[in-house]
Structures are given as structure tokens and as C-alpha cells.
Amino acid sequence: MIRTFSESEFLFIVASARWTLLLTLLSLLLGGLLGFIVALARTSQLAPLRMLAAGWIGMIQGIPVLMLLFLSYYGLSMGGIDMPPIVAASVSMALYASAYLGEIWRGSIQSVAWQQWEASAALAMSRAQQYRYVVLPQAVRIAVAPTVGFIVQLVKNTSIVSIIGVVELARAGNLVNNATFAPFKVFGTVAATYFIICWPISLLARRLEGRLNARRSG
């Protein structure tokens, strides 16, 4: 039986965006935390830490997100660890995010002038104080634009987890389309919903960047 694409189908698609948002949020929080650690390790004075972080970034960036997803969903469940799809999805997206955010933030930290390290060291600051009060506040400004760019990518890339049965935005569209055969309306709605999520993020980034830059010459 073919259903028509009516209000309830429309609402089902739009409501499923909450899983997309939740996934993005979870992978961003977890991946951001891990990515921050990766960035610090990558800029550490200890060579083994730097190498470890570089290895992590290289490895994760060299593996398709899909494989991370399969490994955490099928791989771990075969190893006896049973994970709900949403958890497996969040974990794999977080791993993916950690490598990219780690690399973005490493670049931001390293683009702070080295004289800033020297000046703060000469004032007897510890390495942690240098990060906290001098380097990171400057790195944040540099990091805003590429980080937000990545978040937008992340929102869109969460669609990949539909493969393991998480009914997020893209999967919801698929289900509705299978029942209604109204692909233009269905995927138009899906695309519009993604856009409505992503566009404000980009706008926010532009405002944030403008404000951070304005502060310096107030």
C-alpha cells in the first residue's frame, strides 16, 4: 500500500532530526574532549606523546568513517560487547571527530607566534599557565572558523549511521520514501531540515569571529 506524503510523514522526518542533533552533540562533546587532548599531545614537548597523537590522527583520518562505524558496531558486538546502535554510532563519530578537531586545534595552537611562548616563559609561567592564559585564548580565535566548518560537516556526515539502523534524519527520509514513493517531497524535506540545522551554525560562526576580532581593537 502506498501512503501519501502527508503531515504525519513530514513531521516524522522533521522529528527524526533530534537523533541527528543528538548524535552531533554527543560526537562533538566526546570527540571535542578527545580532540583537545590530541591537540595538546600533538604540541607537547615530549616526543613520544607527539608521535602517539600524530599516529592517532593519521590512523583515524586514513580509515573511512563507515569502517569505524562497522568496527564499533559489529566488531565489538562480536567481541561480546553489546552496544545499542546509537552508542556505537556516537563512539565512532566521536573518534572521527577527535582526529579532525585535534588536527584543526593543533594548527591553531601552532599558529600562535612562538614569541608568545617565550615572553610568557620569561615571566616565569609554567607550561600549563602559558596554555591557559596566553596561548589558548589566542588559538581559540584562530580555531573558530575551521571548527565550525567541521561541525557543519559533522552534522551532515551523521547520515552515515543510518546504515546500522539508527533512524536519524537520512534514514527517516529513506523509510518514508519507501512507503510513499514521493522522493522529491521526502528528500526535499530532509535536505531542507539539514539546511535549517547547518545554516544557523555557519551564521553563528561568522558573528563569533567578527566579535572576537573586534575585541582586539575596541
Partner 1 sequence: MPVVQVEGVRKSFGAVEVLKGIDLTVERGEVIAIIGRSGSGKSTLLRCINGLEGIQAGRIEVSGHKLDASGRGLRELRKDVGIVFQSYNLFPHLRVGENIMLAPRVVLGVGRAEARQRAEEALAEVGLGERFDAWPDNLSGGQQQRVAIARSLAMKPKVMLFDEVTSALDPELTGEVLATMERLAEHGMTMLLVTHEMGFARRVATQTIFMHQGKVWEVGPSEQLFGAPQTPELRQFLGTGLK
Between residues 1 and 214, which has the closer beta carbon with respect to partner 1?
214
Gap between the Cα atoms of 147 and 145, Å rounded: 5
**Binding to partner 1 (CB under 8 A): which residues in 85-114?**
113
Q: Indicate the burial class of 105 (C-beta count within 10 angstroms; 0-12, 13-18, 19 or more).
A: buried
Contact status: 47 vs partner 1 (CB under 8 A): no
Q: Are 61 and 99 in contact (CB under 8 A)?
A: yes
Between residues 126 and 153, which has the closer beta carbon with respect to partner 1?
126
Q: Which of 4, 8, 126, 178 binds partner 1 (CB under 8 A)?
A: 126
Give the amino acid at 176.
Answer: V
Of 130, 56, 132, the closest CA to residue 95 belongs to 56
Contact status: 129 vs partner 1 (CB under 8 A): yes
Contact status: 119 vs partner 1 (CB under 8 A): yes
**Binding to partner 1 (CB under 8 A): which residues in 134-193?**
134, 137-138, 141
Q: Provide the grid cell at 169.
A: 534524519
Q: Which of 45, 78, 79, 217 binds partner 1 (CB under 8 A)?
A: 217
Gap between the Cα atoms of 164 and 167, Å rounded: 9
Interface residue list for partner 1 (CB under 8 A) = 113, 115-116, 118-126, 129, 133-134, 137-138, 141, 215-218
